[in-house]
Structure 1
């Protein structure tokens, strides 16, 4: 009996020693993690927070109101150049694509200098500092000259003009568009506008055409529509108050139609109407997809009219209805007819810009009707000069169509916008508002919403594979990486989701593709 009791005591002591050792190891491990986190916070996070505070103080001293947010989003300037450079380094892209990506390096360098200048003083927002433009453009010019073999005069002129244009556009976005952008959002928007403009100018001046004849046909129509919309917006901006009426609008729109017809006639000949109609309606059996899109369009218009007539402020979940409808359009187009989707996306972008210009034109009764719809569906982020959230949504869904090369083999990357904001963000908003209880620290987003964000994106990729419409290698694994990255960013960022999530999702998909 004593032997039995002594064994029990020995086993008890042995278990206690083991528990103590495990607790000691766990304590050491937690201490190690606390040490690492404290070092990271001391070396990285704390300096960034100091920079954020100093920039906010300088903006306030200069009398500039950026979009209300708890962060300036200084990291956002990295996204677009990263996407372009990864494709340039690891894919067979055109010369025009390579030139555009190297120009983006100069814009990235200027963003870094701009942040440093803005940390010390707000003078950078008032007086153009061309030394920073010159230093940034030299970097891109050297890369164009040595890496792509471009002439020195071409390299310097293209990069310097691009950087100067970017500096001007960035200042205008921050100083003139009060409460419309954070600093990071203004950088992304300015980068996109400048790179697209420079790419278009180089394409037509130096005749850098791709081997894809169908895409060349679509791009000609797209540039024609977009340039026409730009002329309409310019004309509306310079109208006098006495000229802001329906009669003047009819003159402007009529002149724009004549301009479009003349340009298309010069591009495609006298049978341009037949050529375009045959391409859109006859070339392939596109009746089913047009009927599907028409149904979605009617549903969106009905929802908009009913809610506007009731004048009931739409909730976040209600606004996500348009995310779903727009995502279904892009999902079906990308999966079944990528060229038609690109064609429709270009025309849709022009229509969206035109509608926003009409809302701001003060031409009655059109402006009042559009403003009523905007007030019903706007959220707290639409407090600035323009309605950027719907534009961000559309561009976020269509953005991969422009930047992803070799599109026949990249369906998953083309769906980065659909997955991140059309499916994941919508799912997180709906599920989190109904079943979410545990919130992230210093955030209104919930852990349950973030989890459902991830699961919804993975489930969508799995369903597309299951039905045989998605054929990318390692699609589920890459979709999971994209979902986790987009969901984590959606939960923690103070920037507009529709703008940053598609870019971040595309970066995550690129990284996962390279690892796989």
Structure 2
């Protein structure tokens, strides 16, 4: 673990440094520049969520055998980053001597190397390279994100998001070159996956450029840069034909897919109207009003996962790219749309949007899409589609969390200890989630056995109880927890 001078406190100022924004932190060793989200717990346990979710994919029979080795490497990398996070948290709160510093710095890389050797039978040189590159890069990126976005994340939330970013970059490095230069015939999903990986990786590069060069944040530079991004993504020779033609061919060859697009366009228009109406009221949106977007996401993801999984997969990437570009415009105050976006953010932000970033809508999209993004074969195994795990985000936050919020705010009387959540809201979460699963089963959209019902019940109960007690971002944590449990069968 690399601790940069100025990132983490120096020996001369150990006693004066505190972890800001973290309740119960006590005397810490983190720099004053590292500020957690205020009025929330550190959420250290979140750093284990992604490794567990990825590991759950390995306990059942995987249909996409070509993804097993890559997925195994990503899982080990996630474990290494989890160990790196725990070591970082230990470093923050311990008075570390030189020996402990060296131990903490090298333990995550060594553990990752050993796992590559023992589980994947990779050469020592291969394991050492990827083990230390992954863990060092993750720790450095984690510190930079926390410094650049003070008060935006708890320590655990930042761990999840940075882990996801690093795993995406590693996935691109491992898969994209082989896919581009392979002579094998690719399916529609493979082509669209290549397009999405290339587009999001290019967008990541754009974000890095904007962070590094202030001149690019001006109107005359920003919009040409985004236009160049759009042209590069749609016209690069990464598919045959080019991505724009590939996308059009994919959309136009299926009438049902066209109907789905019309339906999605109607939902987008409805969303814009809802935002426009609420911002025109010049007041803060209530929790129940904000949950309308959860219901809209249910209408997007349930038919998409069941009937048009491949299209929804690429659409989720497009939506994430659009969200990112709009957020860049708002954060960097780029005319002419920045004022409108700031007004919408002010209206719909809640207590979790304490920093400069609009974290809640991003996490809603990420939470619903993450089950597809981390599955080994989300849309390619027609004989075993495993739809229930793919709907984890929709069931946990689109339905369960929405019901808990609405019932709890309207009828909640019995409060959980050390929480503002109510028992009535938790019961609503459990009942509505299980009822949604029952309806999906009755309409033959999913197939439920006795074992699956038992696992779904455990997942629902565990997720509901965590929703009632945690102060971390529900949209990010609940889908991963639900996915991990139901994906084990």
- Go from structure 1 to structure 2 and tell me whether the alpha carbon gap of 1:245 and 1:135 turns closer, same or farther (over 3 Å shift): closer
Aligned partner of 2:427 among 448, 451, 466 = 451
Aligned partner of 2:469 among 492, 505, 513 = 492
Contact 1:457 1:479 in 2 (8 A): no
Q: How does 1:30-429 map to 2 (within 5 A)?
A: 55-58=25-28, 62=32, 64-92=34-62, 94-121=68-95, 131-205=103-177, 213-238=187-212, 240=214, 244-263=217-236, 266-269=237-240, 272-283=243-254, 285-407=256-378, 408-429=384-405
Mind listing any 5+ residue stretches in structure 2 that lack a counterpart? Answer: 1-21, 379-383
Partners of 1:169 and 1:102 lie apart in 2 by: 18
- Go from structure 1 to structure 2 and tell me whether the alpha carbon gap of 1:53 and 1:370 turns closer, same or farther (over 3 Å shift): closer
SS in 2 for 1:94: helix
Partners of 1:111 and 1:150 lie apart in 2 by: 24
SS in 2 for 1:58: coil
Partners of 1:120 and 1:481 lie apart in 2 by: 37
Partners of 1:148 and 1:240 lie apart in 2 by: 44
Q: Deviations over 1:436-484 (max 9, x none)?
A: 1111112111100110010000010001111121124344433322211
- Go from structure 1 to structure 2 and tell me whether the alpha carbon gap of 1:220 and 1:66 turns closer, same or farther (over 3 Å shift): same
Mind listing any 5+ residue stretches in structure 1 that lack a counterpart? Answer: 1-51
Contact 2:441 2:447 in 1 (8 A): yes
Partners of 1:189 and 1:253 lie apart in 2 by: 24
Q: Over aligned residue pairs, what C-alpha RMSD do you find?
A: 2.6
Partners of 1:472 and 1:406 lie apart in 2 by: 20
- Go from structure 1 to structure 2 and tell me whether the alpha carbon gap of 1:312 and 1:345 turns closer, same or farther (over 3 Å shift): same
More off after superposition, 83-92 vs 204-213? 204-213
Contact 1:137 1:160 in 2 (8 A): yes
More off after superposition, 72-81 vs 402-411? 402-411
Contact 1:454 1:484 in 2 (8 A): yes
Partners of 2:349 and 2:153 lie apart in 1 by: 15
Contact 1:77 1:108 in 2 (8 A): yes
Q: How does 1:450-489 map to 2 (within 5 A)?
A: 450-474=426-450, 475-489=452-466
Partners of 2:303 and 2:96 lie apart in 1 by: 47
Partners of 1:355 and 1:489 lie apart in 2 by: 32
Q: How does 1:24-35 map to 2 (within 5 A)?
A: none
Contact 1:409 1:472 in 2 (8 A): no
Offset at 1:372? 0.6
- Go from structure 1 to structure 2 and tell me whether the alpha carbon gap of 1:80 and 1:245 turns closer, same or farther (over 3 Å shift): closer
SS in 2 for 1:68: strand
Q: Deviations over 1:94-150 (max 9, x none)?
A: 2100111112221122222222212214999xxx96653432112121221232122
Offset at 1:53? 6.8
SS in 1 for 2:174: helix
- Go from structure 1 to structure 2 and tell me whether the alpha carbon gap of 1:129 and 1:328 turns closer, same or farther (over 3 Å shift): farther
Give the structure-1-normalised TM-score.
0.82
Contact 1:236 1:361 in 2 (8 A): no
Q: Identify the structure with the greater helix proportion.
A: 1
Matched residue count? 455
Offset at 1:405? 3.0
- Go from structure 1 to structure 2 and tell me whether the alpha carbon gap of 1:135 and 1:271 turns closer, same or farther (over 3 Å shift): closer
Offset at 1:271? 5.8
Contact 2:399 2:433 in 1 (8 A): yes
SS in 2 for 1:358: helix
Partners of 1:86 and 1:494 lie apart in 2 by: 25
RCO higher in 1 or 2 (8 Å CA, sep ≥ 6)?
2
Greater Rg, structure 1 or structure 2? Answer: 1
Q: Deviations over 1:192-235 (max 9, x none)?
A: 11111112112234559899733321111102321332343344
